[in-house]
């Protein structure tokens, strides 16, 4: 593997070399390090893009500064901006992209070691990737806690407040509060002013040790869709052992790939979706990928049918009850 100076020209060649590497070393597994760029194909804007990023679009909320929406001290004073954003981004609003399903396919093929994600959208989980493979470095909507006493609460505690606006006003909320100390409840998303989960640091240390011990297996680290500007997450690629191959799927060079490139680095200049499709093709996984997508679509349709049946069942029971009450009234 050789680092390509003209990364625009040699992007597809880099994907081919990655596929050849994985085929040549059947025991090699992949650690994915991903950011917001992986989810933009789902319709979720990233945070920092001019004019289209989430921070730019939050200007209507009159924040003192864009990042205040994720500032723990500001949240204590004014939870409304975060609630407004959460309502827009809450899991279930968007569906996983091709890249998410590619990572699931790596799991199915026994080639996935871990996914380190900056994203809070839980789309890896929605793509049915196993929990044991996912490290949400900045947390996610998957669980909630009280910011005062740290009491844990089920997902519904926060979600129902988003779905039940105060006084029927779509952007006015009855904020979720703790029944023990009356402090605000929020999802376990890491805000500015909060520390990253211990699990992130512990698992990364374990995986680094695994890479060092299994250097002969030729494992691979793929970084995708991230600007590598937020630390400590941004430091992960630089900490990858020098004998472990690294790859970058991104629009332009970023982080350690730009400041301290390695001769063995492989770079795909483009979207993570294009990179996913190229890698699927090069690995000969197109049929497997289609089967995975069809399986997911079938399961979603079954869930939708089941949900509709439950609604109809409840409606039927209510109708019977109404008729029963009416009948008694007539007598």
Tell me the catalytic residues.
Answer: 138
Query: Is 240 annotated as ligand-binding?
Result: no
Query: Is 57 annotated as ligand-binding?
Result: no
Query: Is 42 annotated as ligand-binding?
Result: no
Query: Is 59 annotated as ligand-binding?
Result: no
Distance separating alpha carbons of residues 209 and 289, to the nearest angstrom: 32
Query: Is 265 annotated as ligand-binding?
Result: no
Q: How far is CA 126 from CA 131, 200, 206, 219, 297, in A?
A: 11, 20, 26, 26, 12
Closest of 160, 154, 104 to residue 280, by C-alpha: 104
Query: Is 37 annotated as ligand-binding?
Result: yes
Query: Is 144 annotated as ligand-binding?
Result: no
Query: Is 119 annotated as ligand-binding?
Result: yes
Query: Is 191 annotated as ligand-binding?
Result: no
Contact 220, 28 (CB under 8 A): yes
| Residue 263 dihedral angles phi and psi, to the nearest 5° | -60, -25
Distance separating alpha carbons of residues 150 and 47, to the nearest angstrom: 27
Q: 3-state class of 143 per DSSP?
A: strand
Query: Is 137 annotated as ligand-binding?
Result: no
Specify binding-site residues for NAD(+).
Answer: 36-40, 46-48, 118-121, 226-227
Specify binding-site residues.
Answer: 36-40, 46-48, 118-121, 146, 149, 178, 181, 226-227
């Amino acid at each position: 593997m050789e680092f390509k100076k003209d990364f625009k020209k040699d992007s597809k060649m880099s994907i081919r070399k990655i596929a050849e590497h994985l085929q040549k070393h059947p025991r090699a597994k992949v650690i994915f390090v991903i950011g917001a760029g992986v989810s933009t194909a789902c319709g979720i804007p990233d945070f920092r893009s001019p004019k289209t990023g989430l921070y730019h679009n939050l200007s209507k909320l009159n924040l003192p500064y864009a990042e205040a929406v994720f500032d723990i001290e500001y949240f204590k004073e004014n939870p409304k901006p975060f609630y407004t954003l959460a309502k827009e981004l809450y899991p279930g609003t968007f569906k996983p992209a091709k890249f998410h399903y590619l990572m699931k396919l790596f799991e199915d093929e026994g080639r996935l070691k871990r996914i380190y994600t900056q994203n809070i959208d839980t789309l890896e989980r929605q793509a049915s990737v196993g929990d044991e493979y996912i490290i949400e470095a900045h947390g996610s909507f998957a669980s909630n806690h009280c910011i005062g006493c740290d009491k844990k609460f089920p997902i519904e505690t926060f979600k129902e407040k988003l779905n039940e606006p105060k006084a029927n006003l779509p952007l006015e909320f009855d904020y979720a509060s703790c029944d023990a100390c009356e402090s605000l409840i929020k999802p376990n998303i890491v805000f500015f002013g909060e520390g990253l989960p211990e699990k992130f640091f512990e698992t990364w240390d374990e995986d680094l040790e695994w890479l060092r011990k299994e250097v002969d297996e030729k494992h691979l680290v793929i970084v995708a869709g991230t600007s590598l500007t937020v630390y400590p997450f941004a430091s992960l690629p630089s900490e990858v052992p020098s004998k472990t191959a690294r790859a970058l799927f991104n629009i332009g060079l970023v982080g350690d790939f730009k400041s301290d490139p390695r001769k063995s680095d492989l770079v795909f200049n483009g979207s993570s979706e294009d990179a996913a499709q190229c890698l699927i093709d090069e690995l000969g996984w197109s049929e497997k990928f289609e089967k995975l997508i069809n399986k997911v679509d079938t399961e979603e349709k079954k869930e939708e049918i089941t949900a509709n049946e439950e609604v109809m069942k409840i409606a039927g029971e209510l109708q019977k009850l109404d008729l029963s009450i009416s009948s008694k009234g007539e007598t």
